[in-house]
Amino acid sequence: MRKKIVAGNWKMNTVFSEAETLVTEIADSLDDVELNGAEVILCPPFIYLEMITDVAFESNFKVGAQNIYPADSGAFTGEISPLMLKELNVEYCIVGHSERRQYFQESNEFLKKKVDALLIHGLQPIFCCGEVLPEREANQHFDVVKRQLEESLFHLAPAAFLNIIIAYEPVWAIGTGVTATKEQAQEMHAYIRQLISEKYGADAASETSILYGGSCNGKNAAELFSQPDVDGGLIGGASLKSAEFIKITTSF
C-alpha cells in the first residue's frame, strides 16, 4: 500500500548510550507532532534492534534493519538472518544501499536473493537504487536504475511486488550535502513508477511508495516531498539529530 514514509538509516553510527538517547528523544517528540499519516521507520545497527523494538512497542514508529544475509540459518559467520529479525518484530530491511553495493560488492543478482529471503518471512524490503555521478553525466541514469529494478525486483509475482518500498538514492547525493533538485527527483521517481506500471500495471505503480534519499534534511524535505511521485525519504546523516529528523517527519 502506498504510504508516506520517513525512514532513518543510522548506518554504522552511535554507541549504545547514544542510540538510547536518540531513540528516546525521537519517541518522545513523535508523541507531540502531527505526522499527517506518515509512517516513521528507524533502521539502527543490528545490536540495538532489540532495545529499539522495545521502545517502538509503545511508540509511534516502526523498526527496520540495514541488511540481512539471504538464508534462515547456517554456517555464515557474522551474518544475520531475516528469521532472527522477524522474531524481534523488525518489519523492514534496507536492501541494495549503494554503500553495500560499493564496499561489499553486492550485485543485483545477490540483492534479488535478499529480497526473496525477506519476503518469505513477511519483512518489507526498502530497495535502494540509483546512479553514480559518471553515469548521470553520461546520461545513463535511467538505464542504470532500470537494470537495478529489473535484475533484483522484476522477477517477483505481482502480489509479492506490492510489499516492496523503493528508495531512489542518487549516489552522488549521499552524504555529500548535494541534494538532487526536486525536478531531478520527480523525473526519476516518475520514471520508476512508469517502469512498475509497464511491468505490473497502473494499480501496482500507484500503490508503490517511492522514497528519495541523498542529503535530504530539515530544510529541503518539504520541497522534495511536495513532488507528486516522491512519497517520503530515506534519511542518513539528518536521522542522527532528533530535532532535524522530527522536522523531516512533519514535512508532508
Active-site residue set: 97, 169
Q: Is the Cβ of residue 205 or residue 251 nearer to ligand PGA in the bound state?
A: 251
Contact 86, 76 (CB under 8 A): no
What does the block give as the cell for 129? Answer: 537504487
Q: Is the Cβ of residue 169 or residue 231 nearer to ligand PGA in the bound state?
A: 169
The least CB distance from residue 133 to ligand PGA, in Å, is 14
Q: Is the Cβ of residue 80 or residue 238 nearer to ligand PGA in the bound state?
A: 238
The least CB distance from residue 221 to ligand PGA, in Å, is 10
Q: Is the Cβ of residue 84 or residue 234 nearer to ligand PGA in the bound state?
A: 234
Cα separation of 216 and 200, whole Å? 29
The least CB distance from residue 118 to ligand PGA, in Å, is 18
Contact 131, 170 (CB under 8 A): yes
Cα 247 from chain centroid?
18
Cα separation of 210 and 1, whole Å? 11
The least CB distance from residue 219 to ligand PGA, in Å, is 12
Burial label, 13 (beta-carbon count in 10 A; 0-12, 13-18, 19+): middle
Cα 74 from chain centroid?
27
Interacting residues with ligand PGA (CB under 6 A): 9, 169, 174-175, 213-216, 234-238
Indicate the SS3 state at residue 51. Answer: helix
Cα separation of 212 and 215, whole Å? 10
Cα separation of 65 and 33, whole Å? 25
Q: Is the Cβ of residue 161 or residue 172 nearer to ligand PGA in the bound state?
A: 172
The least CB distance from residue 121 to ligand PGA, in Å, is 23
Cα separation of 6 and 182, whole Å? 17
Cα separation of 249 and 252, whole Å? 7
